[in-house]
Every structure is written in structure tokens, then in C-alpha cells.
Structure 1
Amino acid sequence: MANIKDVAKKAGVSISTVSRVLNNRGYIGKETRRKVEKAMAEINYSPNQIARALQKSQSYILGMIVPDSNHPFFSELIKHVEVFANEQNYKVVICNSLDQPDKEANYINMLRENRVDGIIMCSHTLDVEEYKSVLFPIVTFDRILSNQVPYVASDNYRGGEIATEHLIQAGCKRLLHISGPLKLDLLANRRADAFRLTCMRHHLHHDIIEGTNDNLTFEYFRHFIANEVADRLQSYDGVFCSNDMVAYALYLYAAANGINVPERLKIVGYDYHSFTRMLKTPRLTTISQSAKRLGKVLSSTIIHVIEKKDEDTINNTIVDVELVKGETT
């Protein structure tokens, strides 16, 4: 099996130069890097990741806790996190909390015991103090924990504002927002804040029906629409939904019950994930938050915190959103 000495000999450089190339440390000229990489390919040399991990006291493994990897948005987010983490030689362990606090706490302990280098936290069922007690790097998606923990989110307030303004410009006078669980202090709830303030600014009748995170399956959303929303639909002519699966469930209910969309009822969703893009009828009007961009920033942020742990700078990132016009408004 080829080793680092063989690479150095083949490339005509020192062992320390090969080491700097492997660890991306110090200045390496382009031509020198090219020679080392060519030599590695020619003799089929693969760096010993375990040895590198022991040398640097790192596992090169990230934990990622999500509510449900079966949800289209989170499955897409996971894919992009893994792609960008892999480019930096990190592997990702995926954990599904299913929005159960005990399960989330157990996963945090498991990841700590297995010495992951950091956690990307997309599930948020625990109190803030419980996250603060985790003694290794964390980056959160859609939640602010403290000034010491970086977060990444789409521009939820702007997304809510764009969606509501679009419904108003389409002629809606009586607006409803189907939100997520507002009792949780999540940045996603800024969508509801924007909806409320935009309606107030235009002096329009509006209301919010609060959803839950008990279940993120499409069948659950259909059940929720039929049992929690349907009896109140006659009071509204425009609905802004907290995600696209809710929006599509609402469309199906309307179509099955003779409520014409968009003439009688206009619908805007939020996400524009793979589920939405596959829909041919109808094409949902929605707010796009880029899972690719969010995944890249989550990966780069947690790796930056891991590898630059002595720096005090905390980089929070808000990713832009945009309206995707479809057939439901």
C-alpha cells in the first residue's frame, strides 16, 4: 500500500510538502500542488483519514439532527449539506428527531459520545439552555440560541412580506395564514409576523391558524386542513401557507369541495423544494428558499467554527428568497 513517502518520492518533493498539500496548510504553489496530486493519482495513494483524525484530535464527522429526513425540504437540505461537507473531507451522520425532545436529547448525547466535531441543528424541541450545555461547535438552522452560536436561515420575514403583498395585489381582501407552531421561538415564525404586519398596514381582515410539528407527512397535512381549516375557509379569499405541502393539501381540499382556485381562493406556499417542482397541476405559487444555498452555508459555517475555534467572530447568514409565480394566484 502506497504511503506519504512514496508520494513525496514520486513527486520529487519533501514529505512535509506532501503533508501541507494533504492538510491544506501553508502556502503551496500551483505547480507543486499539481505534481503532488498527480503523484497521488498515479500510485493510487489515499490519505489515512483515521491517522489524520488522531493527529489533529478530530473525527472529520459532523452530526445533523433534522425533524424528519422524509420531508422534501429536509431531504434536499441534507443532500446539499453532505455534498459540500464531502468537498472538505467531512462525513455527515443524519439523525431524525421526529420532533420528540427525548429523542433529540439522546441524539445529542450519542453524537457527543462518538466525538463528532460539530452538529448542524435543524430540530429544535429543547430549551435554549439545553443546547448551551453542549460543549462542542453547533450551528443552527432557523433558530437563534445565543450570541455564541451561529445561525443560518432564509429571509423568513421578507418571504412572508412578499407572499402577503402578492395576495393583496391579486385582489385578496380577507387573508389567512396557516403557520407552524408559534410557541417555538423559530426564525420561521417571522413569516407570521410579516403576514400580520403587512395586513395591518393595508387595513385588511386577517387571521392565523397555528399548526404543529407533531407530524410532517403529507397525509397529516391533509388531515389538518380537513379538520382544523376547512370550516373557516369561507371567510377568506387568500391563504399564505407555512410550507408547500400544506399549500398543496389545501388546494386538493378546495378542488374536492368545489372551491375554485385561484378564482375563489388564492394560495401561496413556502419552500419550492423537489416536491413542489415535480407538481405539474397545479404549479404552486410559492416563496423559494434555496436548499442548495442553505446547505452550503450550513456546512461551511460549522466547518469554519470547528477549524477556527479560537476566533471570536460569529457569522450568521440570512439567505435571500423570491416569489415563484404559479397557477394558484
Structure 2
Amino acid sequence: MVSIKDVAKEAGVSVTTVSRVMNNRGYIGEATREKVEAAIQSLNYSPNQIARSLLSNESHLIGLIVPEIRHPFFSEMVHWIEHYASQNNFKIIICNSVNDKDKESGYLQMLKEHRADGVIMCSHTLDIDVYKNLTIPIVSFDRIISSKIPYVASDNYHGGELATQHLIKKGCKKLLHIAGPLNFEMLSNRRFDAFQMTCSRNGIPWDVIEGANVESTFDDNYRFIEESLANKLNEFDGVFCSNDLMAYALTVYATRHNIKVPNELKIVGYDYNNYTRMLQSPKLTTIKQPIEQLAEQLITSLIKQMKNKDQPLTERAIFDVELIKGETT
């Protein structure tokens, strides 16, 4: 295996000079730089990234832990996080926890061992103390971990309010909310808070059912509706779903069972991701999260955290949401 010493010998310079050229540090004459770069190319030298990170205390790696990469929202989020990380010369290590505590814990340990410069947490199955005790910079998505850890989120309460108000304005008399896992301390559960508050203020009877253990595929969401909702669906004339995948599965189920959408059942989703935008018939009524802006802010907040390790940030970024009117209400 070619080493930095071989490059130095080939170029006729010191190991220190090769290191300075590779790290672009200090003054290096143009002729010397060209000799070193020619030697690197000639020998096909690839530096040991772990060794370099030990010397520079920087790996230019960011760990990104997501709950389920198959979920359309998170797959789009990953795309934009990688985009903005790359613009800032960072690589992303994607860790798919599938809402498994052991996997998430193992990923955190792996990222520490690989000297990741920082972590973006989009999966939150572990106790808050685990995240608070991390020794590397961290930024959280959709969860408040501590006053010393920045978080990024959309305005979940406003989103729940918009969805519920829209269903009521459309004439719905009894509403159902298909929520995410309410036992997790997630900011997304503010959607449910807004749902029940808005229903109560307007004298609208309501119910909630958790889709907590549903996998992120159409088939699994459809199966959940068949097994957990089919017998009580006729009790409601409006449903607010926690995400667009569930909303679309419900729309398909209703259509197959001769429930007319939106005349007999009105449906509102959440996210407005790339998957939703591809659906043309019917177009979902949904709440739009600004996914690209959320991703950009996650990278921005994390880089600020990296640069100010001795001064923990208290940055909080909340982005507004928007009602997208489609054909399901």
C-alpha cells in the first residue's frame, strides 16, 4: 500500500511538505505543489481518512440518523441534507434506525468511533439523556432534547390547526385523526394537540387512532386501515392523517369500498413530499412542510454547533406550513 512517505520520496520533498499540500496549509511554492500533486497521481495515493481525522481533528463526516428511509418524507429530507452538506464539503453517513432502540444506539456508537464531526437526529427512540450525554455536536429534527441542543421543526401545531379547520369548514361533523406514535416526545404530536383543541372549540366530536407501528409502504398502510379502521370508518365524515402515505392508502381503500371521496369522506394528509406531488388522481389535500428549507437549516445549525463547541447554541428554527387544497376534500 502506498504511503505518504512514498509520495514524499517520489516528489523529492519532506513528508511535512506533502501533508501541507494535501491539507492546503501554509505557503507552498507552485513548482513544489505541482511535483507533489504529480507524485500523488502517479502513485495513485489515497490518504487514510481516519489517520487524517486524528491529525486534523476533523473527519468531514456527518451522521444522519433517520427512522425509516423508505418513508417518502425522510427520503426527500435525506436528499436535501446530502445536497447542503456537500455544498459545505461534508459527506453524509446515513443510518436507518427503523425505530429500533438497539440499532439507533449502535449507530451513535459507530459514529463516535468513526469520529463523525456531528450528528443530525431525525430518529428519536432513545431516552433524552442518551442524546444529552453525546460528546459530539448534534442538532435535532422535530424533538426538543435540551436547552443546549438546537432543533429544527415545522410549525406542527399550526399544521394540525389548518388541517382540522379545513375539514370543519368543508362541513365535517365528526372527525378522526390517524396519528403517529403519541408515546414519543415528538414535536409532530403537536398536530394532535391542535386537532383535539380545534375540534373542542368548534363542538366537533372526534377520535384518534395511532398508526405507530405501521411500516412506510403503501401495502402496510393499507393493511393497517383494513385491520384497525375498517369497522369504524363509517362513523366519520372527515379524517386528518399524520402523513400523505396514510392519506393516500385511505383514499384508495375508501374508493375500493364504495365510499365516495370527498362527498362522503374528506381526507387531509401531511407533508407534501415528492411522492405526494406525483399523485395526480385524486390530488391529495395536505399540509405542506418546507422540506428543503428544513434540511438546509439542519446543516446550517450543525455547522454552527461544530464551530462553537465551547459555546453551546440555543438556536431554535421553526418553519411555517401551508394548506395545499386538492381533490380529497
TM over 0.5, shorter chain:
yes
Q: Does 1:251 align with 2:254?
A: no
Amino-acid identity (%) = 50
Alignment of 1:31-50 (within 5 A): none
How many angstroms does 1:254 deviate by? 0.3
Q: Distance in 2 between matches of 1:247 and 1:232?
A: 16
| TM-score, with structure 1 as normaliser | 0.85
Q: Does 1:125 align with 2:121?
A: no
User: Could you say if the C-alpha distance between residues 49 and 297 of structure 1 is closer, same or farther in structure 2, counting changes exceeding 3 Å?
Assistant: farther
Letter in 2 for 1:277: R
User: Could you say if the C-alpha distance between residues 228 and 196 of structure 1 is closer, same or farther in structure 2, counting changes exceeding 3 Å?
Assistant: same
Q: Does 1:319 align with 2:324?
A: no
Q: What residue is the counterpart of 2:228 in the other structure?
A: 228
Q: Distance in 1 between matches of 2:25 and 2:200?
A: 61
Q: Distance in 1 between matches of 2:292 and 2:92?
A: 16
C-alpha contact 2:305 2:312 (8 A) present in aligned 1: no
SS of the residue aligned with 1:231? coil
How many angstroms does 1:306 deviate by? 0.7
Letter in 1 for 2:203: H
SS of the residue aligned with 2:258? coil
Q: What residue is the counterpart of 1:31 in the other structure?
A: none
Q: What residue is the counterpart of 1:200 in the other structure?
A: 200
SS of the residue aligned with 2:168? helix
Q: What residue is the counterpart of 2:302 in the other structure?
A: 302
C-alpha contact 2:176 2:207 (8 A) present in aligned 1: yes
Count of paired positions:
298
Q: Which runs of 5+ in 2 are unaligned?
A: 1-6, 12-20, 42-46
Letter in 2 for 1:106: G
Q: What residue is the counterpart of 1:140 in the other structure?
A: 140
Q: Distance in 2 between matches of 1:49 and 1:310?
A: 28
Q: Which runs of 5+ in 1 are unaligned?
A: 4-14, 21-35
Q: What residue is the counterpart of 1:23 in the other structure?
A: none
Q: What residue is the counterpart of 2:288 in the other structure?
A: 288
Provide the aligned C-alpha RMSD in A: 2.5
C-alpha contact 1:99 1:214 (8 A) present in aligned 2: no
Q: What residue is the counterpart of 1:24 in the other structure?
A: none
How many angstroms does 1:56 deviate by? 3.6
Deviates more, 1:150-159 or 1:48-57: 48-57
User: Could you say if the C-alpha distance between residues 132 and 213 of structure 1 is closer, same or farther in structure 2, counting changes exceeding 3 Å?
Assistant: farther
Q: Distance in 1 between matches of 2:90 and 2:160?
A: 35
| TM-score, with structure 2 as normaliser | 0.85
SS of the residue aligned with 2:183? coil
Q: Distance in 2 between matches of 1:324 and 1:95?
A: 31
Q: What residue is the counterpart of 2:77 in the other structure?
A: 77
SS of the residue aligned with 2:267? strand
SS of the residue aligned with 1:306? helix
